[in-house]
Amino acid sequence: KRPIIIDTDPGIDDAVAIAIALYSEELDVKLITTVAGNVGVDKVTNNALKLLKYFKKEVPVAMGAAAPLIRTPQDASNVHGVSGMEGFDFEEPTNDLLLEENAVNAMYKVIKDSATPITLVPIGPLTNIALLLKIYPEVKNNIQDIVLMGGSASRGNMGVMSEFNIHVDPEAAKIVFDSGLPIVMAGLDVGWKALVLPEDSAQLENMNDVGKMIHSLFKRYRGGSMKTGLKMYDSCAIAYLLKPEMFETIDTHVDIELNGSMTAGTTIVDLKGYLGKPNNAKVCLDIDQQLFREWLLDSLRKCN
């Protein structure tokens, strides 16, 4: 099994990604770390614990950064609801799985002690990952790669050009993309195409307990705007781990715009090689939509 750490801000699409990863036979989720993003870090941490309780899975959780490195927090409660996971009545979790140490120290330990190099799967702002790489640079020796959801080679969803996870903490993203580690960027170019259609969601309701819960969350996701399909951004990172052949990718150089008055937080994806800099990322440019839908439903069917 491939050992991974999921760094997340659940988040309705995060919840789907976490479910698939936890029930996958190919992935071994060693740790879940949380970061302020879709809503504040206390809420997303509680959401991660709620999900684990619902799934009856015992994975340690460590709480991470309450705010971006430099900037003022911005959330996405308009999309995910005030709790961050509005739409299903979860039982209140206990704190049994919550580690006392913070996300950075917990990641450090898991990475240091792992016999096999770890894959980091960040599906929220990159604050924790940047801190980890700055505080414990030696972890790079035991990180296999970073497969993240974030960024865009085209337009944005938070700024005109910027995607939410990068827009919220561009300085952290810059540290991660400059780290020298192998990076796979699954951004909006695939996230916008990774759709669950109304007929797919209808299937979830009667599939199993996990499907029922997700169906219920979907009714509230983006204020219930299901008609044209719901975007499963964060599942793209998990999909890349499990079925990379669904994606079309390009190896290129990605930089992060920090200063633009209208473009801060944009991933500068150098598709034509203008910058003359070495490749630092594999960027997902396209996804087979039909295969993705089938894969998503199949994966959720296995969440039993």
Residues in contact with ligand BDR by CB under 6 A are 11, 13-14, 38, 76, 79, 123-124, 149, 157, 163-165, 191, 233-234
Angle between helices 209-218 and 12-23 (to 10 degrees): 160
Beta-strand ranges (E) seen in 176-275 are: 183-186, 195-196, 230-231, 247-252, 254-256, 267-269
In whole angstroms, how close is the CB of 165 to ligand BDR at the nearest point?
5
Q: Per CB under 5 A, does 14 bind Ca ion? A: yes
Cβ atoms of residues 146 and 184 within 8 Å = yes
Cβ atoms of residues 198 and 226 within 8 Å = yes
- In the region spanning residues 257 to 276, those forming contacts with Ca ion, defined by CB under 5 A, are none
In whole angstroms, how close is the CB of 187 to ligand BDR at the nearest point?
8
* Contact map string, positions 227 to 246, toward Ca ion, x by CB under 5 A: -------x------------
- In the region spanning residues 184 to 213, those forming contacts with Ca ion, defined by CB under 5 A, are none
Q: Which is nearer to ligand BDR, 93 or 125 (CB)?
A: 125
Fill in the DSSP letter of residue 119.
E
In whole angstroms, how close is the CB of 237 to ligand BDR at the nearest point?
9
Residue of 298, 267, 303 whose CA lies nearest to 285:
267
What residues does 110 pair with on adjacent strands? none
Q: Per CB under 5 A, does 7 bind Ca ion? A: no
Residue of 175, 292, 279 whose CA lies nearest to 245:
292
The stretch among 3-11, 46-54, 108-116, 179-187 that binds Ca ion (CB under 5 A) is 3-11
Q: Select from ligand BDR, Ca ion, none the partner in contact with residue 163, using the beta carbon and a kind-dependent cut-off of 5 to 8 Å.
A: ligand BDR
Angle between helices 198-205 and 289-301 (to 10 degrees): 10
Q: Which is nearer to ligand BDR, 93 or 265 (CB)?
A: 265
Size of the site for Ca ion (CB under 5 A): 6
* Chain Cα centroid distance, residue 302: 20
User: Rounded CA gap, 74 and 65, in Å?
Assistant: 13
Q: Which is nearer to ligand BDR, 159 or 191 (CB)?
A: 191
Q: Per CB under 5 A, does 156 bind Ca ion? A: no
HSE at residue 224, side-chain half, CA atoms within 13 A, is: 3
* Contact map string, positions 106 to 125, toward Ca ion, x by CB under 5 A: -----------------xx-
Site residues for Ca ion per CB under 5 A: 9, 11, 14, 123-124, 234
